[in-house]
Amino acid sequence: MADIYVASDKRYDKMVYNRVGNSGLKFPAVSLGFWHNFGSNGNYDNMKAMCRTAFDGGITQFDLANNYGPVYGSAEENAGRILKEDFAPYRDELVITTKAGYDMWPGPYGNWGSKKYLCASIDQSLKRLQLDYVDIFYHHRMDPETPLEETMEALAQIVHSGKALYAGVSNYDKATTERAVKILKELHCPFVVNQVRYSIFDRHIEENGVKDFCKEAGVGIIAFSPLAQGLLTDKYLHGIPEDSRIARDHRFLKENALTPERLSQIRQLNELAKGRGQSLAQMALSWILKDDKVCSVLIGASKPEQIVENLSIVENTVFTEEEIRTIDRICEN
């Protein structure tokens, strides 16, 4: 007999929900990303268990992209199967997002930001996800060759067609975000969020003005890679484990990232986290949410227990001025 999932009736008891920019939409403070561990090389039962754990803990946002895998499209296919088997009764409680902008299929029309690519991508994604619409459709990265007007017109058409409720962008700098806001406003398309990389070790959105601009413009920010691909955890305190991302996968995190200076910073931050009653990972996630300029932090996971650990951060996102100064001092080099 098939295992029938019934969501916890306590799923909304502890999670915090933050307004996304000036829109009516709210994100859970913690959202679940499908970038890793949901592809064709993952364990399906474990994927399903992670989704159940997340939703039972109040995580209502599942974040995908067309080429998440490996192989391309497989994360959406697995998500679609899970949504159909477990979450069909809860679709209206979920925010399902996907993106297009990186390499997806061969030839000149399977990458970047043309209208042809984006409009084909949303149709393919909806088929894989087995959904009539997604809540947010993102352009995944800036395209230096396609006119921004064309890319934004594609997003607007997708929203106006009912295939997505809101438009978003990812990895956009301040100047391009500013132009996107203006164009989408003229097209009467709800542009609600910029998904950007942000962590204690990577503060480029503060330095280039994206974080402050989005707040002023009424565009929400959701942060990805908040643990700096695992560096902001206790995993590397004593060297490089054989099962770590550095050892297994050099595409996203290389061994030379763990310099003696970086290791010293990780150890100092770990001691500070202990003083807060948190793990280093928990403190790093809490730090992202310390002000009202970021509405959600996007976590990845390889097992349900990691999701449970990360959920506890919503109860501890307040930092003293001294803690903020100490973190800044540790990371200033």
Q: What is the pLDDT of residues 69-121, one digit of tens each?
A: 999 999 999 999 999 999 999 999 999 999 999 999 999 999 999 999 999 99
pLDDT at 256: 74
CA distance 224 to 176: 19
**CA pair distance 74, 110, nearest whole angstrom:** 16
Rounded CA-CA distance 35/73 in Å is 11
The pLDDT value given to residue 249: 57
Q: What confidence tier does 258 reach under pLDDT thresholds 50, 70, 90?
A: confident
Q: Which residue has the higher pLDDT, 257 or 314?
A: 314
Peptide bond into 144 cis (omega under 30): no
Give 219's DSSP letter: -
pLDDT value of position 300: 96
For the domain made up of 17-331, the CATH class stated in words is alpha beta
The residue type of 247 is: A
Give first-to-last CA distance, the chain, whole Å. Answer: 57
Residue 316 reports pLDDT greater than 90: yes
Give the count of beta carbons closer than 10 Å to the beta carbon of residue 132.
Answer: 9
Q: Environment class of residue 99 by beta-carbon count within 10 Å: exposed (0-12), middle (13-18) or buried (19+)?
A: buried
Q: What are phi and psi of 319, to 5 degrees?
A: -120, 140
Q: What torsion, rounded to 10 degrees, do the Cα atoms 220, 95, 32, 54 define?
A: 130
Q: Which pair of tokens denotes residue 96?
A: 């399902």
Look at 44 and 255; give whichever has higher pLDDT: 44
Contact 286, 319 (CB under 8 A): yes
**Mean pLDDT for all residues in the chain:** 95
pLDDT of residue 257: 78
Residue 50 near residue 301 (C-beta atoms within 8 A): yes
CA dihedral 229, 155, 40, 79 (to 10 degrees): 100
Mean pLDDT, range 262-269, rounded to an integer: 95
Residue-range domain boundaries for the chain? 17-331
Does position 247 have pLDDT exceeding 90, yes or no? no
DSSP for residue 202? B
Residue (of 124, 112, 106, 117) closest to 66 by Cα position: 124
- With b for 16 or more beta-carbon neighbours within 10 A and e for fewer, the 68-93 pattern comes to bbeebbbbbbbbbbbbeebbeeeeee
Residue 40's pLDDT band (cuts 50, 70, 90): very high
For the cut 70, the answer to whether the pLDDT of residue 122 exceeds it is yes
Task: Quickly state the pLDDT bin for 5 (edges 50, 70, 90).
Answer: very high
Per-residue model confidence (pLDDT) at position 1: 53
Residue 248 has pLDDT above 90, yes or no: no
Q: How many C-alpha atoms does 318 have within 13 Å on its Cβ side?
A: 2
Residue percentage of the chain with pLDDT more than 70: 95
- 288-308 in b/e burial notation, b at 16+ Cβ within 10 A? bbeeebbbbbbbbbeebebbe
CA distance 98 to 66: 7
Percent of the chain with pLDDT over 90: 90
- Tens of pLDDT, residue by residue over 128-150, are 999 999 999 999 999 999 999 99
Distance in angstroms (rounded) separating the CA atoms of residues 259 and 247: 15
DSSP state of 77: H
pLDDT at res. 112: 98
Q: How are beta strands 191-197 and 30-33 bridged, if at all?
A: unpaired
Q: What is the pTM of this model?
A: 0.94
- Taking the C-alpha atoms of residue 135 and residue 41, their distance in angstroms, rounded to an integer, is 27
3-state SS string for 294-313:
CCEEEECCCCHHHHHHHHHH
Report whether pLDDT(251) > 70. no
